[in-house]
Structure 1
Amino acid sequence: MNTKLKNILLCYASGMGIKSISSAFDISRNTVRRYVRMYQDSGISAEKLPSLSDARLQELFAIPSAREHAPSERHIQLEALLPEYAARLSRKGMTVKTLYDEYSKEHPDGYRRAAFGMKLRQFMLQTNAIGHVEHRAGDKMYIDFAGDRLEIVDEVTAEVVKVEVFVAILPCSHYTYCEAVWSQKKEDLIKACENAFHFYGGAPAAIVPDNLKSAVTRSDRHEPAINPDFAAFAEHYGCAVVPARVRHPKDKALVENAVKLMYRSVYVDIEGTVFHSLDELNRAILKSLEAFNARKLTRRKESRRDLFDLMEKDVLRPLPAARHQMRQRAVATVQRNSYVTLNKHHYSVPTQYVGKRVELVYDADTIDVFHGFSHVTTHHRDDRPYEYTTKASHNLPGRKGSYENDIDGLLSRAAQIDNIVVHYLRAVIEDKRYPELAFRACRGNMNLEKKYGQERLVSGCAAAMDAHRYTISEIVEILETGADADYLPGVDMDEQTHATPAHRNIRGKDYYASNTQQSSSNVKDNKNGNNR
């Protein structure tokens, strides 16, 4: 009884109402109120409640210990089954009614339906407590596709076509958007999200999708890989993409509940109606959706629309003047006249790319030319066939990127540590080509000094350079696995010759220092020869 009382008081301290506590613990509301009044009069804080002993509770609340009753046989049987029932209830399609039907067949003398459901809810409440999540206005938009699809009937052939149903919700006001689309492909997903923005009249700070391939190419707890086209769409509207975690259904519980509400409202309103086009179906969905959002929320005076107008409408980010245009890609070879061709129109590129394969990323307005990770140039799109678009700057020497000074600073820092690090960073710069990517990679490598120290950074760079591995993840793997052990300093050359076997990769910083001195003397000799 003392444990039960402590749980009652903890539920009350966490904000749970008296009616809910009474239902969860199967005791009268008056008893709950009496305990709550005694708890308030005691002046004990919620933080001290878990540490109170049974004797202290007995003293404060005068709980009679002699009124304990032995549990009945059916109570013991049900208590043993509750953990399994609670686990099965989380499965798709499982209901309390199904579980009770199974229980009543095996235990005909057991509890009736109402008592069974109450004890199951009480068990789940005590074992699966959840925290409250505060949603800020205009912060996120949750999106998902409904599991049950709708139908369109071809007017000529009478063929039935299944269509997907897209659902979005703003969690602060619960303002909901719903639309039918042809598929879950990225083109339809992006268009549906964009229509949701225009329905709301603004864009949130972040979009929270499920881990479908149209939005997330690789799910990861820390750094999920976002589909490039979906990421470009989000960037156009100034949004971040924050995918829900895998196997964490509570991350998107709001939108899943919104899908269930669509089943009970929109799906019911259009049931039995035959639609011959997607536009016709979406007009019916929008009409039902307006009535749904105008309906007052349970135990509240406001509707979803009222809360949206009051809390979120003015907080959403303004929409850009132009809608997002999804970009396409093509590969072309730079011709000898330093032009590339797209749709029979020719665009100029710098002469150093002649004969090289480049990637054209284009939409209805612009064309971007990339060579590897390097952005070469941008042109306004022109679809006039056999015409030429030329930039005068392409006849001039290439301009240096703004990151080169920063790279020089990193190289100066590396020289203060060891020449091995300098040589490795130069190899990384050569591998990355594009100045910004090279600067980021060099900065990331130099930051490894904070975690692993200078000696490990030097040995890791030496090991990575010999293995021709130039990414941060690869050098981190070397340091984590200890693959740089052969490159660590601390043993004299004479001792190393006798103590460790010879290895062609063991060179050390003296090797690079001598090479640097030799290069410097060669430069001086050349200068002296020129002066003579």
Structure 2
Amino acid sequence: MILSIFNYRLYINHFFSLNLKTGVVKASSTDPAINRTYQELAEHYHTAIMPARVRKPKDKAHVERTVGIISTWIIASLRNETFFTLNELNKAIKGKLAEFNQKDFQKKSGSMQTAFIEEEKFALLPLPGSPYELATWKKATVQYDYHIIVDKMYYSVPYEYIKYEVDVRITRKIIEIFYKNFRIASHMRLEGKDGQLSTIPEHMPIQHKQYLDFNRNYFMKWAEAVGPNSLAMVKALLDSYKVEKQALKSCMGLTKLADQYSIERLESACKRAFSYSPRPNLNSIKTILKTGQDKLNTFATRTTGVDKVDQDSTHGFVRGAAYYGRKDK
């Protein structure tokens, strides 16, 4: 374990002593801007990143020299050996690294391993309980329904941030939302069918919390109590949208029509709508209720001349000549 920690520290010292563009976004002698991912890695392991000064090779001379010596010694030691798998090669390198760390210094007593144990080990902090998980960042604008979209999934944000631009941190399991570096929301990442919602009740305005129970099961039970035609209509609405959230809005509109016109008229309107089309929509129900077609037992048509239409016809909205302004002579 000591060898692996030492190797890790050596790698960190070498890697972060550089001023490479992917590590340092903006170079500065007093306040350099560190790459966000690198900064998160350092914070996770309680490590400070101290970039070398630009065009100051002496700032990292000791690290560069040590890495060069180790690399040359290990490569030279293994130059005549043949390896058939990467695991074999890594095992051999690990053994040579342990051997190098135990070699005595030429000009002073001890070795690299004893120097580490006596001078550095006491200052090490314990490793975190979980390894660092690489994350990606994106920006998103909070929509009017206090949700943001990440990979076609919806995640809620406190409604006070509607219309604000936020930063989203995405890992394999977690979605975190930040505003000005302050975390305002966190969700488990959704998987599966597009359009799923992760809504936290505390993010909702008070007047919206009453809609939490208005899900697919709620509307199915409501329609079943109204009548078979209303139930068929709700099923048609739920199946007509790829995103369930949109379908639930249409179902909510259907319940409002029942409040406005009565559940009896809604049931009759749904029956009439299915006689017009096998896939009616909410606008069809609105039109039928508004024009009073749900109150008609049969299609009202003229029965003279070419305007006569069979009362058993299943065609919808058949208009005679009188509708277009022709007058009988």
Could you tell me whether the CA contact under 8 Å between 2:37 and 2:134 is conserved in 1? Answer: yes
CA 1:244 to 1:275, structure 2 compared with 1: closer, same or farther past 3 Å?
farther
* 1:389 equivalent in alignment to 2:198: yes
Distance of 2:64 and 2:145 partners within structure 1? 57
Residue in structure 2 matched with residue 31 of structure 1 by the alignment: none
Q: 1:230 to 1:278 in 2, by over 3 A?
A: farther
For the residues of structure 1 that align with 2:164 and 2:156, how far apart are their CA atoms? 13
Question: Which residue of structure 2 lines up, in the alignment, with residue 359 of structure 1?
Answer: 167
- Aligned pair in 2 of structure 1 residues 263, 374: CA closer, same or farther (>3 Å)? closer
Pairwise CA distance, 1:332 = 4.0
Tell whether the 8 Å contact from 2:16 to 2:23 is kept in structure 1 after alignment.
Answer: no
Instruction: Indicate the SS of the match to 2:123.
Output: coil
What 5-or-longer segments of structure 1 have no aligned partner?
1-168, 170-174, 178-195, 398-532
Give secondary structure in 2 for the equivalent of 1:367.
strand
CA contact (8 A) 2:146 2:204 kept: no
What TM-score results when the alignment is normalised by the length of structure 2? 0.52
Q: Is 1:223 matched with 2:36?
A: no
C-alpha distance after superposition, 1:145-168 (max 9, x if no partner): xxxxxxxxxxxxxxxxxxxxxxxx
Task: Write the mapping of 1:185-334 to structure 2, written as runs, cut at 5 A.
Answer: 196=8, 208-273=16-81, 278-334=86-142
Q: Distance in 2 between matches of 1:309 and 1:207?
A: 22
Q: What is the CA-CA distance between 1:338 and the residue it aligns to? A: 2.6
Partner of 1:409: none
175, 187, 190: which one aligns with 1:379? 187
Contact in 2 for aligned 1:359/1:370 (Cα 8 Å)? yes
Distance 1:305 1:374 in 2: 42
Q: Residues 272 and 176 from structure 1, CA distance in 2 versus in 1: closer, same or farther, beyond 3 angstroms?
A: farther
Residue 240 of structure 1 aligns to a residue in which SS? coil
1:396 to partner: Cα distance: 4.6
2:177 to 362, 369, 374: 369
* CA displacement 1:478-523 (0-9 Å, x = unmatched): xxxxxxxxxxxxxxxxxxxxxxxxxxxxxxxxxxxxxxxxxxxxxx
- How far off is 1:266 after superposition? 0.9
- The one-letter code matched in structure 2 to 1:270 is L
Structure 2 unaligned segments of length 5 or more: list them: 207-329
Separation (CA, whole Å) in 2 of partners of 1:265 and 1:176: 17
C-alpha distance in 1, partners of 2:86/2:31?
37
Distance 2:113 2:178 in 1: 46
Separation (CA, whole Å) in 2 of partners of 1:254 and 1:294: 19
CA contact (8 A) 1:345 1:384 kept: no
Does 2:158 correspond to 1:350? yes
Distance 1:345 1:278, change over 3 A: farther
Deviations 1:168-199 (A, max 9, x none): x9xxxxx963xxxxxxxxxxxxxxxxxx15x9
Give the aligned length.
202
Q: Distance in 2 between matches of 1:360 and 1:380?
A: 13
Equivalents in 1 of 2:114, 2:180: separation in Å? 51
Whole-Å separation in 1 of the counterparts to 2:33 and 2:86: 32
Using a 3 Å threshold, how does the CA distance of structure 1 residues 313 and 395 change in structure 2: closer, same or farther? same
Secondary structure of the residue that 1:238 maps to in structure 2?
coil
Structure 2 contact 159–205 (Cα < 8 Å) conserved: no
- Secondary structure at the aligned position of 1:329 is classed as strand
The answer for the alignment partner of 1:108 in structure 2 is none
Could you list the structure 1 runs, at least 4 aligned residues long, displaced by more than 6 angstroms after superposition.
none
Q: Is the 8 A contact 1:218 1:226 kept in 2?
A: yes
Shift of 1:239: 1.3
Give the corresponding residue for 1:53: none
- 1:375 and 1:273 mapped to 2: Cα distance? 53
- Indicate how the Cα distance of structure 1 residues 276 and 362 shifts in structure 2: closer, same or farther if over 3 A, else same: farther
TM-score (norm 1): 0.34
1:362 CA displacement = 1.7
Q: Is the 8 A contact 2:133 2:171 kept in 1?
A: yes
1:314 is paired with a residue whose SS is helix
8 A Cα contact 2:135 2:169, kept in partner: yes
In 1: Cα distance, 2:54 partner to 2:40 partner: 23
Measured against aligned partners, the alpha-carbon deviations of 1:221-268 in whole angstroms (never above 9, x if no partner) come to: 222221111011101111111111122222112111112312431111
Cα distance change on mapping 1:375 and 1:308 into 2, 3 Å: closer
Q: In the alignment, does 2:139 pair up with 1:337?
A: no
Instruction: Report the Cα distance in structure 1 between the residues aligned to 2:159 and 2:129, rounded to whole angstroms.
Output: 36
Contact 1:368-1:377 at 8 Å conserved across structures: yes
Asked if 2 retains the 8 angstrom alpha-carbon contact of 1:237 and 1:320, the reply is yes
Contact residue 328 and residue 362 of structure 1 kept, 8 A: yes
Residue 231 of structure 2 is matched in structure 1 by: none
Task: Please tell me whether the aligned partners of residues 146 and 162 of structure 2 are also in contact (alpha carbons under 8 angstroms).
Answer: yes
Return closer, same or farther for 1:277/1:222 CA change in 2, 3 Å cut-off: farther
- Which residue type is aligned with residue 186 of structure 2? T
- % identical aligned pairs: 31
In structure 2, how many angstroms separate the alpha carbons of the residues matched to 1:222 and 1:373? 21
Amino acid in structure 2 at the alignment position of 1:392? P
Q: 1:289 to 1:373 in 2, by over 3 A?
A: closer
Alpha-carbon deviation of 1:382? 3.6
